[in-house]
């Protein structure tokens, strides 16, 4: 370690300032139960983006926006021609989301550049704080679509054409709130990318650990299924001749649960949305639309789950006399994060005296796409009772501080302190 690097080897972020920023951002879209509803590309998302922009500019950064609305706040490097060390996550939330999912990673990264400004620390590489558009996928499916465009998984045209429940497109809403920028999406080098995030699971809290060193991200498959039967009168249609789409859907829900249990403990399987039609109390449902989410860190197991789903849905529909359409709308294989970046996180946690362990991410993250185009790793903090995607989601201030401190040290190890 150089003398300059050693001098700043134990530098820490301002935990109180980070917490205050988290609480202020949480007021935009605050819910009565203490959570946050700031869906992507809504007016509330625009407010959050504008506050983030102001804070970044006050920290000495220049903010640019690409054609997908991804935001990049750049702190220049001594050699500004070098590729940046990028830090970040997302500011959008679930409809009944919490105050920390994604937001901790963005504002923790902002706190890193604020700290560097406070201490007048200069780095060889520039540092960029990223806010990725539509990570959650709750308004526009699939999730992580904008980091996916950045990584070359999707085209801009595909992303722009995504439609929400009201028929509004992602592209139109991006333009409406004024955040369709001019910067090309992707196609530029990144020296390293680090994403700080709450665990969204119970392991770290249960084991009383400060930091999760994320080594892998789970593979995912998302499906949309339409089951079609025949709607008819609930009182006068005999049971043996019914073509009840909701009965088929109920059996698919049970099938999905069986598939998950058969591949436990590493695999999980969920039916998250189910919409029957015509949704009338005295009409046998003639059609049901539903979603399925499979996840597993083993791609071969994930492929086996896919096969079991298709075979099972076909058998269920044949038995009841239903037609079905099963579409896989989203897939990415398990991700192994880059070894030197993972080591930078582990070394930072050890140097700062934080207890830590290796961990696999159970959720999808923008980092999983960025890992395709840049050396990438993630940092997890505990969350209370492992709860996330819920208004009661919570973390302790000291957990946020520890995560941001590790993020700072990992970033400096890659950005290289000059003075």
| Sign of the torsion angle spanned by Cα atoms 78, 81, 87, 93 | positive
Question: Rounded to an integer, what distance in angstroms lies between the CA atom of residue 358 and that of residue 87?
Answer: 20
Count of other CB atoms within 10 angstroms of residue 76: 15
The three state secondary structure string of 16-53 is HHHHHHHHHHHCCCECCCCCECCCCCCHHHHHHHHHHH
191 is in an annotated binding site: no
State how far the Cα of 12 lies from the Cα of 373, in Å rounded to an integer: 30
- Please give the Cα distance from 27 to 374 (Å, whole number): 34
Cα 117 to Cα 396: distance, rounded to the nearest angstrom? 26
Q: CA-to-CA distance for 147 and 243, rounded, in angstroms?
A: 42
Contacts (Cβ under 8 Å, ≥6 apart) of 239 = none
> Is 136 annotated as belonging to a binding site?
yes
Query: Is 172 marked as a binding-site residue?
Result: no
Residue 296 to residues 225, 242, 260, 361, Cα–Cα distance (Å): 20, 37, 10, 10
Instruction: Of 129, 201, 115, 207, give the one whose Cα is nearest residue 405.
Output: 115
Backbone angles phi, psi at 409, to 5 degrees: -70, -40
Gap between the Cα atoms of 415 and 6, Å rounded: 14
Name the residue among 258, 371, 378, 377 with its Cα closest to residue 312. Answer: 258
Residue 310 labeled ligand binder: no
Q: Confirm whether residue 80 is marked as ligand binding.
A: no
How does DSSP assign 71-86, residue by residue?
A: EEEEEPPSSTTSPPEE
Q: Any idea how long the chain is?
A: 419
Three-state SS for 263? coil
**Which region holds residue 284: left if phi is over 0, alpha if psi is between -120 and 50, else beta?**
beta
**Which residues make up each annotated binding site?**
90, 101, 136, 197, 389
**Which residues make up each annotated binding site for Zn(2+)?**
90, 101, 136, 197, 389
């Amino acid at each position: 370690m150089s003398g300059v690097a050693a001098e700043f080897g134990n530098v820490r972020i301002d935990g109180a300032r980070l917490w205050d920023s988290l609480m202020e951002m949480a007021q935009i879209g605050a819910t009565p139960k203490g959570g946050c509803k700031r869906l992507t590309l809504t007016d509330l998302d625009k407010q959050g983006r504008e506050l983030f922009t102001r804070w970044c500019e006050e920290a000495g950064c220049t903010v640019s926006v690409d054609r997908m609305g991804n935001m990049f706040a750049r702190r220049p490097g001594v050699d500004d021609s070098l590729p940046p060390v990028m830090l970040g996550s997302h500011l959008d939330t679930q409809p009944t989301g919490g105050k920390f999912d994604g937001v901790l990673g963005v504002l923790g990264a902002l706190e890193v550049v604020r700290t560097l400004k406070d201490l007048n620390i200069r780095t060889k590489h520039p540092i960029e704080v990223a806010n990725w558009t539509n990570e959650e996928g709750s308004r526009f499916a699939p999730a992580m679509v904008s980091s996916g465009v950045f990584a070359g998984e999707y085209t801009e045209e595909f992303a722009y054409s995504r439609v929400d429940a009201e028929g509004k497109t992602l592209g139109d809403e991006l333009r409406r709130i004024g955040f369709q920028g001019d910067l090309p999406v992707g196609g530029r080098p990144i020296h390293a990318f680090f994403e700080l995030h709450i665990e969204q699971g119970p392991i770290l809290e249960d084991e009383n650990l400060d930091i999760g060193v994320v080594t892998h991200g789970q593979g995912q498959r998302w499906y949309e299924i339409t089951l079609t039967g025949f709607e008819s009168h609930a009182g006068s249609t005999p049971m043996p001749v019914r073509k009840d789409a909701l009965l088929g859907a109920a059996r698919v829900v049970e099938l999905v649960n069986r598939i998950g249990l058969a591949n436990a403990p590493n695999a999980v399987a969920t039916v998250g949305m189910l919409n029957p039609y015509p949704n009338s109390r005295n009409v046998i449902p003639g059609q049901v639309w539903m979603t399925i989410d499979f996840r597993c860190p083993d791609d071969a197991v994930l492929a086996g789950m896919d096969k079991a789903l298709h075979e099972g849905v076909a058998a269920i529909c044949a038995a009841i006399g239903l037609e079905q359409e099963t579409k896989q709308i989203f897939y990415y294989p398990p991700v192994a994060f880059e070894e030197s970046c993972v080591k930078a996180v582990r070394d930072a946690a050890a140097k700062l005296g934080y207890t830590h362990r290796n961990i696999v991410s159970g959720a999808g993250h923008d980092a999983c796409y960025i890992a395709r185009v840049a050396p990438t790793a993630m940092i997890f903090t505990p969350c209370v009772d492992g709860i996330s995607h819920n208004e009661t989601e919570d973390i302790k201030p000291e957990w946020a501080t520890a995560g941001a401190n590790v993020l700072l040290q990992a970033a400096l190890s890659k950005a290289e302190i000059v003075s």
